[in-house]
């Protein structure tokens, strides 16, 4: 089965706190891609990152970082020094080799309070 689980439905933090959004996936494919998208209140899904299953290097982009661990089938997303503008729903998604379509998790709603 192909599946993405984001166990945290809602997270609330205070500005400047670090926060980690969890993502666990299931697939039997050896080649797949993982994605994170941000959906602010305006509704548009904004692409954040795409990661190939063969590339387990962690990635950092400004205050954002991603931790890909194949051994635990996880692709977690950390925001350092969170800001109010980070408030949004964040989706993790899997694109397996077969079919190729994006399989989304349920999303995690992050609320950053001033």
Partner 1 sequence: ETGVTQTPRHLVMGMTNKKSLKCEQHLGHNAMYWYKQSAKKPLELMFVYSLEERVENNSVPSRFSPECPNSSHLFLHLHTLQPEDSALYLCASSQGTVQETQYFGPGTRLLVL
Binding site for partner 1 (CB under 8 A): 31-33, 35, 37, 42-47, 50, 91, 95, 97, 100-102, 104-107
On whether the CB atoms of residues 66 and 77 are closer than 8 A, the answer is yes
Which residues are CB-neighbours of 103 under 8 A, at least 6 positions away?
Answer: 2, 3, 4, 93, 94, 95, 96
Cβ distance to partner 1 smaller for residue 13 or 45 = 45
Determine the Cα–Cα distance for residues 90 and 41; give it in Å rounded to an integer.
11
What are phi and psi for residue 108, nearest 5 degrees?
Answer: -120, 125
Count the neighbouring beta carbons within 10 Å of the beta carbon of residue 79.
Answer: 20
CB of residue 97 vs partner 1: minimum separation in angstroms? 7
Cβ distance to partner 1 smaller for residue 47 or 81 = 47
CB of residue 15 vs partner 1: minimum separation in angstroms? 26
CB of residue 30 vs partner 1: minimum separation in angstroms? 13
Cβ distance to partner 1 smaller for residue 53 or 76 = 53
DSSP output for 29-43? -SSEEEEEEEE-TT-
CB of residue 16 vs partner 1: minimum separation in angstroms? 29
Cβ distance to partner 1 smaller for residue 11 or 102 = 102
């Amino acid at each position: 089965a192909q599946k993405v689980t984001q166990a945290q439905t809602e997270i609330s933090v205070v500005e400047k706190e670090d926060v980690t959004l969890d993502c666990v996936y299931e697939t039997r494919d050896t080649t797949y891609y993982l994605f994170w998208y941000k959906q602010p209140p305006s509704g548009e899904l904004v692409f954040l990152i795409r990661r190939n299953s063969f590339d387990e290097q962690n990635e950092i982009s400004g205050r954002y970082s991603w931790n890909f661990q194949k051994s635990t089938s996880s692709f977690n997303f950390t925001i350092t020094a969170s800001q109010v503008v980070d408030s949004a729903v964040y989706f993790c998604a899997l694109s397996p080799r077969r079919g190729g379509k994006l399989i989304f998790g349920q999303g995690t709603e992050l609320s950053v309070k001033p």
